Amino acid sequence: MPERIALIGAGRVGGHLGRRLHQAGWPIVQVYSRNPDKAKSLAAQLGAGFTGDLNAISRDADLYILAVSDDAIGEVAGALPLPPDKLVVHTSGATPSDELHNRFARYGVFYPLQTFSADREPDFSNIPICLFAADTAGYDLLERLARSLGSPYYAVDDRQRFVLHVAAVFVNNFTNYLYQVGEDIAHSEQLSFDLLRPLILETAQKIQSASPAAMQTGPAIRGDAATVERHLAYLADRPEYAELYRMLTKGINAEMG
């Protein structure tokens, strides 16, 4: 008989993950959200019960998935009215598993390394799942879960997951900020950001099958000092962009040795 899952949290991650698990045939017995309407709405999609009351969490599930905000993980885990031998996992990249260990002997992490939006359907076959569990049986279950979603999965311990989170900030948040800088610069000359969008996509697509170092182009890697100087002269009245330009150019040059 397949393991019964309780979903604690009905936000973006809980919603997307819950629907995909349901679709893969896992019985979701209950959805909790502190907002009962959100719990009810997601539960209806999953054929599950729902509650807005932590004390009414079902004791009948085999796996409890905490898909709540990072800040709430410790508090919610502490308040779950469950025996300490229940398997409880969170879905956070940034949170150590200790936050669950304080309360449960069987704990783990099921972290989909992707950015989720409310209005974009995620493709789980292309979402790496980082798995950790304190016990072998727990890990086996998480592995079956990931496999049933069609997702690539990796054993990732707390330290590695933390470091991945640092790396993800560079390739996602900081990259997105550079897109914003590009948009700002283009707009300052009455140019549409549409001119830059295809370049952005192509750059991301190119490194799907190659190493970024091998794909670098542009004035810095070419050692084209004259162009770098002309660009910096243009940026002179935006010192924060000029400083960023200098630092990133220095980083690319350092790679050249």
The single residue among 140, 176, 229, 256 that binds its own copies, judged by CB under 8 A, is 176
Among 191, 225, 229, 256, binds its own copies (CB under 8 A): 191
Interface stretch with its own copies, choices 2-10, 21-29, 35-43, 114-122 (CB under 8 A)? 114-122
72 in contact with its own copies (CB under 8 A): no
Give CA–CA dist 32/59, Å, rounded. Answer: 13
Instruction: Single out the residue of 1, 25, 137, 159 in contact with its own copies (rule: CB under 8 A).
Output: 159
Task: With CB under 8 A as the rule, give the number of residues binding its own copies.
Answer: 87
Q: Which residue matches tokens 């949290």?
A: 9
CB-nearer residue toward its own copies: 50 or 245: 245
Segment near its own copies (CB under 8 A), from 33-41, 42-50, 136-144, 232-240? 232-240
Nearer to its own copies, 53 or 173 (CB): 173
**Binding string, residues 115-154; x marks residues near its own copies by CB under 8 A:** x-x--x-----xxx-x---------------------x-x
102 part of the interface to its own copies, by CB under 8 A: no
Candidates 92, 163, 100; CA nearest to 134 is: 100
Structure tokens at 91: 């879905």
